[in-house]
C-alpha cells in the first residue's frame, strides 16, 4: 500500500477588509480540500494569511510555512495554493522560494494552474509569474491615481488621523462615503497645551523641550488618545507636523515608509488649522525657534571653547551651544552639526541646568560596576584549583565559574571564570619532565668540550660547463 503524500494549504487575500467581508478564503479552502481529496493527498495543515500583500515575504503565516517546509524532516510534501499569485506576485521571489522548498523535497502545486516538472512547464510558470507581477503593479498604479485624486478634492484617504483630529462623513458618492478631518474636541486641548509649553512654558519655567513636555504630561496624568503614556516621538511629531497648521501632505513616503518621495509628488490638502500657525512657525525654523540658552558663558567664550578644546567631544558640544547662542533654532543646529534633533535639545537642557561643566563626554565619571573577582574569592579559587575538579578532568573557565557561583550564591558568567584563572596565573601547561638518566650540567659541558672541532677544508670548485661552439655561418649568398 502506497503512503499518500502529505499536503499543506496556503490561503491568502490582499487586505484585511477582504478577509472580513469577502468569500475568497472560504472558497480557496473548499477548493483546496476538494483538490487534496481528489488527488489522494493527506491534508496536514492549513496556513491562512488574512490581509497580506504577495509582493514581498513579510507575511507571518508564509514565513511559518516556509520554516516548516525547509525543516528536516519536512511535515508535508506538497504546498497547495489556489493560484501562483496567492503564493507570490514577484517572479524572482516566487522562483527563489520554489527552489528553496524543492531542495527539501517539497513541491508547490496550483489548483487552477497545474504544471509539470519539465523545462517547458517551468518556463510557463515563470511567464505566469511575470504576468502576476505586472498585474499587481498596474493595480497599484490605478489605486494610487484614485487616492491622489481623492486627496486633491480634500478628502481623507484613510488610516488613523493625527492626534487632535477625527474623521467625519462629508459626502456620499454611490456606495462610498467620502470623509474629511475635523478638530476632535476631546484631544484638541492637549495639542494646544503642547504648543503652549513649547513656546511659553508652564509659567514657572521658560520654554520647554520635548523631553520636559513629555514629563509634564505624564506627571499630570494627561494620557494619549489610546489611554497610554506620552513618548518623545509623539510630542515631536505634533510639534513638527504641518497638519496642525492646516496643511496635510499625502504621498510623501513610499509604501515601505523608508523612501521620502520628491516634493513634486506630494499632495497638500486640509484647511482646518488649530489656529496655531504662528506657533508652528516658531517651533520649526520659520520664526524665533525654541532655543533658549542660559547666560553661563558669552558667545565669545563659547566660541573660544569650541575653537580651543583638545577634546573632540567637548569641542562639538561647545559648537552646538555656540550656534544656539547665536539665535539659531535646534533644527538648524541639528542640520549643521549632523546631530539628531532630540540630542541637540537634550544637550541644551543639560547646559541650561548645569552649565559648561556638563558638556563633553561625562561617561568617564560614571564609574564601573564592582567586579566579582575580589581578593578573597581569587584566594579561594587559587586554593581550589590545586585539587582536580569533581569530574576528575582539568579545570576550565566554566568549571571555575560554577565554583564561584556556589561560593557567592549567584550566577557567574563563564567569562568571569576565565578572568579568574588568568588573575591567579593558572595554566594547564606543565614543564617537560626531566629524564631519569639525563646528564648533569657539568657532564653536558664536558661532553661539548670533547667534541672534535670541524676542519676547515677547502671546498672543491665545480668547473663550469663549456658550451659547444656553433657551426660557422656564412653571410654570403649561395
pLDDT for 178: 86
In the CATH scheme, what is the homologous superfamily, with its name and number, of domain 6-137?
A: Resolvase, N-terminal catalytic domain (3.40.50.1390)
Q: Which residue has the cell 670548485?
A: 461
> Which of residues 170 and 261 earns the better pLDDT score?
170
pLDDT at position 264: 44
Query: Can you give the pLDDT at residue 268?
Result: 52
Specify the fold of 165-283: Hect, E3 ligase catalytic domain fold (3.90.1750)
Mean per-residue pLDDT for 67-77? 91
* Cβ atoms of residues 82 and 110 within 8 Å: yes
Please determine, for residue 284, whether its predicted confidence score (pLDDT) is greater than 70. no
H-run or E-run covering 406: helix 397-408
Please tell me the least confidently modeled range out of 65-74, 184-193, 262-271: 262-271
The cell numbers describing 384, all together, are 581550589
User: Which of 65-69, 223-227, 253-257 has the least mean pLDDT?
Assistant: 253-257
pLDDT at 380 over 90: yes
How far, in Å, CA of 334 to CA of 330, rounded? 6
Among 149-153, 298-302, 313-317, 466-470, where is mean pLDDT lowest? 466-470
**pLDDT of the residue at 391:** 85
- CA 423-426-429 angle, to 5 degrees, is 145
> Is residue 457's pLDDT more than 50?
yes
Q: Where are the alpha helices (DSSP H) in 40-90?
A: 60-69, 84-87
**Is the pLDDT reported for residue 372 higher than 80?**
yes
Residue 437's SS3 state is coil
Lowest-confidence pick of 78-82, 88-92, 224-228, 362-366? 362-366
- Indicate the range of 168-172, 245-249, 257-261, 458-462 predicted with least confidence: 257-261
Provide the pLDDT for residue 463: 67
Mean of pLDDT values over 91-97: 87
Find which of 46-60, 145-159, 453-467 is predicted with most confidence, using mean pLDDT: 46-60
- 247: nearest Cα among 151, 147, 146: 151
Q: What is the pLDDT of residue 316?
A: 92
Residue 379 pLDDT level (bands cut at 50, 70, 90)? very high
Is the pLDDT at 455 greater than 80? The verdict is no
Give the residue, 108 or 372, on which the prediction is more confident. Answer: 108
Residue 245 has pLDDT above 70, yes or no: yes
- 333-239-246 Cα angle (round to 5): 120
> Residue 88: its pLDDT value, please?
87
Is the model's pLDDT at 258 over the cut of 50? no
pLDDT of residue 163 exceeding 90, the answer is: no
pTM: 0.44
Q: Which residue has the cell 504662528?
A: 278
Percent of the chain predicted with pLDDT > 70: 82
The pLDDT score that the predictor gives to residue 67 is 92
Determine the average pLDDT of the residues in 172-191. 85
Judged on CB neighbours under 10 Å (0-12, 13-18, 19+), 129 is buried
Residues in Cβ contact with 435 at an 8 Å cutoff, skipping those fewer than 6 apart: none
Name the phi and psi angles at 235, rounded to 5: -65, -40
Helix (H, G, I), strand (E, B) or coil at 215: helix
pLDDT averaged over every residue in the chain? 81
What pLDDT, on the 0 to 100 scale, is given for residue 54?
79
Stronger pLDDT, 282 or 40, i.e. the higher one: 40
pLDDT confidence bin for 319, thresholds 50/70/90: very high
Name, of 39-48, 247-256, 274-283, the range with top average pLDDT. Answer: 39-48
Tell me what the mean pLDDT of segment 227-234 comes to: 88
pLDDT at 403: 92
pLDDT higher at 432 or 276? 432
According to DSSP, residue 372 is labeled: S
Q: Which pLDDT score is estimated for 139?
A: 84
The confidence score (pLDDT) of residue 205 equals: 76
**Distance (Å, whole) CA 4 – CA 11:** 22
Domain residue limits, the chain: 6-137, 165-283, 299-363, 375-423
Tens of pLDDT, residues 29-51: 899 999 999 989 999 999 998 87
Q: What confidence tier does 261 reach under pLDDT thresholds 50, 70, 90?
A: very low
pLDDT at residue 137 above 90? no
Per-residue pLDDT, 16: 66
Amino acid at each position: 500500500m502506497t503512503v499518500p503524500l502529505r499536503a499543506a494549504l496556503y490561503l491568502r487575500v490582499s487586505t484585511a477588509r477582504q478577509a472580513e467581508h469577502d468569500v475568497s478564503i472560504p472558497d480557496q479552502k473548499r477548493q483546496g480540500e476538494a483538490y487534496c481529496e481528489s488527488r489522494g493527498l493527506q491534508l496536514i495543515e492549513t496556513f491562512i494569511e488574512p490581509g497580506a500583500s504577495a509582493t514581498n515575504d513579510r507575511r507571518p503565516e508564509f514565513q511559518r510555512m516556509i520554516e516548516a517546509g525547509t525543516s528536516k524532516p519536512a511535515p508535508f510534501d506538497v504546498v497547495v495554493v489556489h493560484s501562483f499569485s496567492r503564493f507570490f506576485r514577484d517572479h524572482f521571489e516566487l522562483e527563489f522560494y520554489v527552489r528553496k522548498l524543492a531542495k527539501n523535497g517539497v513541491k508547490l502545486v496550483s489548483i487552477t494552474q497545474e504544471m509539470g516538472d519539465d523545462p517547458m512547464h517551468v518556463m510557463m510558470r515563470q511567464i505566469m509569474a511575470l504576468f502576476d507581477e505586472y498585474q499587481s503593479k498596474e493595480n497599484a498604479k490605478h489605486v494610487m491615481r484614485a487616492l491622489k485624486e481623492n486627496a486633491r478634492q480634500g478628502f481623507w484617504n484613510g488610516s488613523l488621523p493625527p492626534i487632535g483630529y477625527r474623521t467625519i462623513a462629508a459626502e456620499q458618492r454611490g456606495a462610498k462615503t467620502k470623509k474629511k478631518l475635523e478638530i476632535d474636541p476631546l484631544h484638541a486641548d492637549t495639542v494646544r497645551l503642547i504648543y503652549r509649553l513649547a513656546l511659553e512654558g508652564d509659567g514657572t519655567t521658560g520654554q520647554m523641550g520635548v523631553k520636559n513636555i513629555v514629563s509634564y504630561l505624564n506627571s499630570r496624568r494627561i494620557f494619549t488618545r489610546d489611554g497610554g503614556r506620552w513618548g518623545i516621538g509623539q510630542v515631536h511629531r505634533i510639534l513638527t507636523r504641518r497638519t496642525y497648521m492646516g496643511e496635510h501632505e499625502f504621498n510623501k513616503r513610499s509604501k515601505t515608509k523608508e523612501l521620502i518621495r520628491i516634493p513634486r509628488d506630494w499632495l497638500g490638502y486640509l484647511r482646518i488649522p488649530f489656529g496655531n500657525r504662528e506657533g508652528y512657525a516658531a517651533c520649526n525654523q520659520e520664526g524665533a525657534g525654541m532655543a533658549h540658552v542660559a547666560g553661563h558663558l558669552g558667545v565669545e567664550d563659547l566660541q573660544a571653547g569650541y575653537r580651543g578644546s583638545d577634546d573632540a567631544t567637548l569641542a562639538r558640544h561647545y559648537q552646538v551651544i555656540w550656534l544656539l547662542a547665536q539665535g539659531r533654532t535646534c533644527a538648524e543646529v541639528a542640520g549643521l552639526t549632523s546631530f539628531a534633533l532630540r540630542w541637540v535639545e537634550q544637550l541644551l537642557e543639560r547646559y541650561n541646568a548645569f552649565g559648561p561643566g556638563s558638556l563633553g563626554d561625562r561617561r568617564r565619571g560614571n564609574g564601573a560596576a564592582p567586579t566579582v573577582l575580589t581578593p578573597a574569592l581569587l584566594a579561594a579559587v587559587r586554593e581550589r584549583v590545586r585539587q582536580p575538579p569533581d569530574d576528575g578532568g582539568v579545570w576550565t573557565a566554566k568549571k571555575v565559574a560554577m565554583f564561584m557561583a556556589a561560593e557567592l550564591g549567584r550566577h557567574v558568567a563563564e567569562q568571569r571564570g576565565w578572568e579568574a584563572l588568568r588573575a591567579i596565573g593558572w595554566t594547564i601547561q606543565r614543564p617537560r619532565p626531566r629524564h631519569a638518566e639525563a646528564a648533569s650540567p657539568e657532564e653536558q659541558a664536558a661532553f661539548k668540550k670533547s667534541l672534535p672541532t670541524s676542519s676547515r677544508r677547502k671546498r672543491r670548485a665545480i668547473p663550469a660547463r663549456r658550451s659547444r661552439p656553433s657551426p660557422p655561418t656564412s653571410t654570403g649568398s649561395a
